[in-house]
Amino acid sequence: MDALTETKPDAVDLQAEFADSGLAEVFDELDRDLVGLVPVKQRLREIAALLLVDRARAQFGLSSSSPTLHMSFTGNPGTGKTTVALRMAEILHRLGYVRKGHLVTVTRDDLVGQYIGHTAPKTKEILKKAMGGVLFIDEAYYLYRPENERDYGQEAIEILLQVMENQRDDLVVILAGYADRMERFFTANPGFRSRVAHHIDFPDYSETELHAIGERILGGMSYKLSPAADEAFNRYVGIRMTQPHFANGRSIRNALDRARLRQANRLFASHKPVTAEDLVTIEAVDILASRVFSGGIDSYPPLRTEKPA
């Protein structure tokens, strides 16, 4: 046999390949980072299985083109899209589909210039920064503004499409945003639809999941809810979910940040020494002071009620 001829294995143990790649650790981290999202996590496992099989085929010399890995993440704010994109970058890196495994997160403002000749260098600079990893474009539909004849978003789109096709072995692009707006975006820009192989929808969290997210956030900061505060928080979540501008986990985090602020001011205003238990416990009054309970909208940052000058 020619010494240069690569020896092919008799068989490949896909479960062993999964273990050796460290993917179990990535999925464990995903479970720790995010409550729920079972369909999303399952889809990521399916993509990982596809890539493991693709690697196994390569070991047997079975020719095939590299799988298209550009993706679309759709869902409401605060449903974990950015966190999942970060884990997706890790998965792709561990399996050898991207060189670095870093995530670059951008919006329209990072790609589109405000005058002639400004967009191309901005877009190319971002692409250069993202090469070898994953480029996450949040609210991607804002790239396309057909109502503005002087908008330069189309130039950025054309550059992105070219790179997504010609350098797909060195860059994965994830487009993200609201489902209905992303659908209109793909309809208006069929070039993106033809290059995006994986469409993943992120469902809203249930009330139970949002409560669990809140407990996880507080636990990570060494806080806890008193029994009365726990009941008040349940009521808060139920009301807030029905209000405008609700952003799932993001709104829960903001609400708890404000509860911590109220707790700190309550303890300071008491003019009494505080115990460790005082410092870690959020009380019902810290939750019930939210304007949600008086019919207001607990948004962050506060909604503008006046017209801008």
SS (H, E, C) the chain: CCCCCCCCCCCCCHHHHHHHHCHHHHHHHHHHHCCCCHHHHHHHHHHHHHHHHHHHHHHCCCCCCCCCCCEEEEECCCCCHHHHHHHHHHHHHHCCCCCCCCEEEECHHHHCCCCCCCHHHHHHHHHHHHCCCEEEECCHHHHCCCCCCCCCHHHHHHHHHHHHHHCCCCCEEEEEECHHHHHHHHHHCHHHHHHCCEEEEECCCCHHHHHHHHHHHHHHCCCEECHHHHHHHHHHHHHHCCCCCCCHHHHHHHHHHHHHHHHHHHHHHCCCCCCHHHHHEECHHHHHCCHHHHCCCCCCCCCCCCCCC
Q: Which domains does the chain have, with CATH numbers?
A: 14-202 (3.40.50.300), 207-294 (1.10.8.60)
Residue 176 CB neighbour total at 10 angstroms? 24
The mean pLDDT of the chain is 90
The pLDDT of residue 12: 87
Asked if the peptide bond before residue 203 counts as cis, ω within 30 degrees of 0, the response is no
Kindly tell me if the per-residue pLDDT of 4 is higher than 60.
Answer: no
pLDDT digits (tens, 9 = 90+) for 81-111: 999 999 999 999 999 899 999 999 999 999 9
pLDDT digits (tens, 9 = 90+) for 187-200: 999 999 999 999 99
Q: What is the pTM of this model?
A: 0.86
Rounded to whole angstroms, how far apart are CA atoms 122 and 246? 33
Kindly tell me if the per-residue pLDDT of 308 is higher than 80.
Answer: no
Kindly tell me if the per-residue pLDDT of 283 is higher than 70.
Answer: yes
pLDDT digits (tens, 9 = 90+) for 131-167: 999 999 999 999 988 777 678 899 999 999 999 999 9
Kindly tell me if the per-residue pLDDT of 215 is higher than 60.
Answer: yes
The pLDDT of residue 5: 54
Rounded to whole angstroms, how far apart are CA atoms 183 and 166? 24
Rounded to whole angstroms, how far apart are CA atoms 165 and 100? 19
Rounded to whole angstroms, how far apart are CA atoms 255 and 240? 10
Rounded percentage of the chain residues whose pLDDT exceeds 90: 74
